[in-house]
């Protein structure tokens, strides 16, 4: 009987998550007019209107009293992030998936249908504030991005704080890129068509990889930065304006800094690329930000820095989206459409 209680509890939790997932996806698939009715008065800030499906999702999270990951112990927060990703990511089809090891780190190669080597490849780093996230949390997003763009995606895991604070993730990212340059043929990649990308903390790592690649003269054709974290100081309008109520919170960001930046100046350019001296020869960049995101302004400031340094840059603000929309590819319409646009940009850059 002692073992029956945990087993029953696990089944109850699974059924509850399953029910919440089905309810969430059904609600996010409703017509926009009905979503507006259920979600309440439209949220307008800084001249932007929050997407109806996103607003309804946030309201449902409040109704079921879903705790923020940052309010939980680190292991529980990691489980919560994975659960959230599973609820909004869905099951995305892709040509094939292969697990492998990249410079002693777990990695996963997503090959889209019809891809023939050698060809382009995106080296991808997941978000999660340098303390959450893994290959599983971004599996659906990587599948979607690979299949929609036609570009294989090599997602590489990296060490997380607080167990492994800076410079662990930074070192892992640079090592992964060097490994890819040296082993491109093993993953069917053309060295002349390599790209690097990531979301949030992963966007930070992608940005610093691009900087070091330019300094070292290593091949890199493109950088895909989705709401990148570029300034750990965060004295911006968006950081104040969207500090609470839009998934990513000030408490989350403060915890992320406490876990990752230990005995390190937050203005260290390896932590905050916004303060880096940018070299010549930076890869062209596509920078995507979200209108209702605390990181919005620092991501856009970094895009301007890249342009000032001579790098070709396209900046796209998805005005109706929140931080985390990159993981919402299996529910609703607006976030999925934003991700489809990002995939199209990746395809065009590496065609």
Phi, psi (degrees; rounded to nearest 5) at 125: -120, 130
Catalytic residue among 200, 238, 272, 335: 200
Catalytic residue among 53, 134, 139, 293: 293
Residues 256, 81 contacting (CB under 8 angstroms): no
Tell me if residue 293 is catalytic. yes
**Size (the chain), residues:** 351
> Could you write out the DSSP letters of every residue in 70-93?
GGS-HHHHHHHHHHHHHHHH----
Rg of the chain in Å (alpha carbons): 20
CA distances from 319 to 47, 80, 290, 323 (A): 9, 26, 6, 11
Torsion angle (degrees, nearest 10) of CA 350, 283, 205, 274: -140
Name the nearest CA neighbour of 156 among 195, 113, 107, 115.
Answer: 107
Tell me if residue 141 is catalytic. no
Name the nearest CA neighbour of 294 among 208, 227, 206, 202.
Answer: 227
Tokens of 194: 């390599």
CA distances from 124 to 69, 127, 156 (A): 23, 10, 6
Q: In the Cβ-directed half-sphere of 48, how many Cα atoms lie within 13 Å? A: 19
How far does CA 347 lie from the centroid of its chain?
A: 18
3-state secondary structure of 124: strand
Tokens of 12: 């109850």
Q: Report the alpha-carbon angle 140-135-341, nearest 5.
A: 40
Tell me if residue 46 is catalytic. no
How far does CA 27 lie from the centroid of its chain?
A: 24
CA distances from 243 to 56, 253, 287, 302 (A): 19, 9, 21, 20
Which residue numbers are catalytic?
Answer: 200, 293, 323
């Amino acid at each position: 009987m002692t073992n029956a209680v945990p087993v029953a509890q696990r089944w109850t939790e699974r059924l509850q998550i399953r029910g919440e997932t089905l309810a969430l996806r059904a609600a996010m698939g409703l017509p926009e007019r009905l979503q507006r009715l259920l979600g309440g008065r439209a949220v307008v800030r800084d001249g932007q209107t929050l997407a109806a499906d996103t607003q309804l999702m946030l309201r449902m999270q409040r109704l079921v009293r879903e705790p923020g990951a940052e309010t939980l112990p680190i292991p529980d927060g990691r489980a919560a992030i994975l659960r959230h990703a599973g609820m909004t990511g869905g099951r995305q089809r892709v040509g094939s998936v292969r697990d492998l090891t990249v410079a002693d780190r777990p990695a996963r190669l997503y090959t889209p249908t019809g891809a023939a080597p050698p060809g382009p490849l995106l080296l991808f780093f997941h978000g999660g504030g340098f303390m959450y996230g893994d290959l599983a949390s971004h599996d659906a997003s990587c599948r979607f991005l690979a299949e929609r763009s036609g570009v294989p995606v090599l997602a590489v895991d990296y060490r997380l704080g607080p167990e492994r604070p800076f410079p662990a993730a930074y070192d892992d990212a640079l090592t992964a890129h060097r490994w890819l340059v040296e082993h491109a043929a093993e993953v069917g990649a053309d060295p002349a068509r390599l790209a690097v990308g990531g979301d949030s903390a992963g966007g930070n790592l992608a940005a610093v990889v691009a900087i070091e690649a330019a300094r070292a003269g290593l091949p890199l054709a493109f950088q895909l930065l989705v709401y990148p974290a570029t300034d750990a100081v965060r004295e911006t309008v968006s950081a104040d304006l969207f500090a609470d109520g839009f998934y990513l919170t000030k408490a989350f960001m403060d915890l992320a800094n406490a876990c990752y930046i230990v005995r390190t100046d937050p203005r260290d350019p390896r932590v905050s690329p916004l303060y880096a001296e940018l070299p010549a020869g930076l890869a062209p960049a596509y920078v995507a930000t979200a209108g209702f995101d605390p990181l919005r302004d620092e991501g856009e400031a970094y895009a301007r820095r890249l342009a000032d340094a001579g790098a070709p840059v396209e900046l796209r603000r998805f005005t109706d989206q929140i931080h985390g929309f990159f993981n919402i590819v299996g529910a609703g319409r607006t976030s999925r459409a934003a991700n489809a646009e990002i995939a199209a940009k990746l395809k065009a850059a590496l065609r």
